[in-house]
Structure 1
């Protein structure tokens, strides 16, 4: 399999970061963003910059039906995944591969249900510190993409995507078990993101002993149990390693969900506790902490001006 044309959907921090890398490597004849008419007009009027450099992006409206692409990178927030699936439908051909940069495990399920498992590769984006302010994206660490196939074999599409990333100088790794990687990051986000949002705190508030840290750990433990029911083995050592990482972060920093609640934006709560609670019902185990977090975060959203 050879990848020629690449499309991205979602011009947030990660979309702009990877869009700029790919466009620089392959040009905007091979790389473009899919967007609706309103966004296309807005993006053209105010070009994006990435680390101070103007991005030479091309935009194609999602109503176009004249061509398909070889690779689609989904970089929307989870609240936009259903619309993204509708927008990319015209661009999915017989051999199109799709990867999602979203956290959690739910976006892959949505994509596979819409287009078939054969079009999906699994991906975990981690380690990047990209921040978007208006149309400007800044980052010091571009992070790394973890890639894998459903059965963790090195399929031809997986090798083709890896080659594209390598050519574009985008760090990547193909781990032994991509599902473990997806669940391990979901466990982290289930605890850290949601607890920071509910307690209206930063990393410092989670680094010290107390109610917030205790609740965070209980939420992570429920995620670990959910993973086990789904056939993925996460251990207490995995939780301990995330605590080591958390405790090394700038205390004044804050996770994305806390940034969302501060800015009165819709959160990805359905991606985190929403997933864990749903699996609790599916496998008949209790998820009291994630039930609580889910309820509290929705109350926070409902209280927005």
Structure 2
């Protein structure tokens, strides 16, 4: 069954980036942006821009009935996931495939509690250096979507359907057979990069060079490596090197989402990162001092709002 219609919920950096790319390559109406009435009014009044181009999006409200989408993409922040799960109910049908591009290691399970794990492919977005200020997004590197089944070693028909669609729309992607390790690897990267750049009030350039910030980042990532072994994932040094290489190819002027959140005085996803590390540390009786300090510092910054 060919994928023809796509619904995206969330117009943060990822939603705008991939939404704008698809909107230029799909018939109008086949790509739907799901948003409530208030947000739609704001988007239509102020417009949304990607690298200086006005995004031509078709918006629909959650209550609007119609044919379910072939593919639903979650691109919200974690604190908006619960509402987003309910907002896409009219977009999910018997043959709908769901991708979650959220950070962290739990969103697929949360979505699956409502729609069933049989509709979900595990997914991460990596390699983008997008910066969003108000209604304008800029990026140098688009990055890619990496996805696959939860079970290792399998390239299913669903994976092939999504791969065929993305290839036809020139969306960079990788279909893989080790998604558990990829998700944990991206989690390790986020724990190190997002939190370090936020605490050092800097950008990717600060952690791409040798120094205290890069040392902090790598130490935080190594704490995740220890926990991954306890969870049966077992990230190793070559995984660390892979993700550091991804980081080192980003625009030095770019900033991760947590840094952008703190600059805008928004509450961050710290509970997804060091918050989750601290909980796993308690579970496995593993010391996580670097993440404890990052958690404390980020909470301190948020406490000044």
**Taking structure 2 as the reference length, what is the TM-score of the superposition?**
0.90
Closer/same/farther in 2, CA of residues 51 and 255 from structure 1, 3 Å limit: closer
Partners of 1:30 and 1:249 lie apart in 2 by: 32
Cα separation, 1, equivalents of 2:27 and 2:254: 35
Give 2:272's aligned residue: 271
Residue 119 of structure 1, CA deviation: 1.3
Distance 1:129 1:253, change over 3 A: closer
Equivalent pairs, count: 304
1:19-77 deviation per Cα after TM superposition (whole angstroms, max 9, x unaligned): 12222222222111110111111112222233333322111101224432221111112
* Residue 166 (str. 1) matches residue 167 (str. 2): yes
Shift of 1:149: 0.8
**Match of residue 48 from structure 1:** 48
TM-score by length of 1: 0.90
Judging changes above 3 Å, is the alpha-carbon distance between structure 1 residues 252 and 143 closer, same or farther for their aligned structure 2 residues? Answer: closer
CA drift of 1:180 comes to: 1.4
Note the aligned Cα RMSD (angstroms): 2.3
Quick check: 2:112–2:120 contact (8 Å CA) kept in 1?
A: yes
User: Equivalences for 1:1-305 in 2 at 5 Å?
Assistant: 1-152=1-152, 153-207=154-208, 211-243=212-244, 246=247, 253-304=254-305
Contact residue 131 and residue 255 of structure 2 kept, 8 A: no
Decide whether the 8 Å contact of 1:79 with 1:266 is kept in 2.
no
Note closer, same or farther for the CA distance 1:63–1:113 as it changes in structure 2 (3 Å cut).
same
Structure 2 CA distance for aligned equivalents of residues 204 and 29 of structure 1:
40
Deviation larger for 130-139 or 183-192? 130-139
Query: Closer, same or farther in 2 for the Cα pair 1:283/1:115, shift >3 Å?
Result: farther
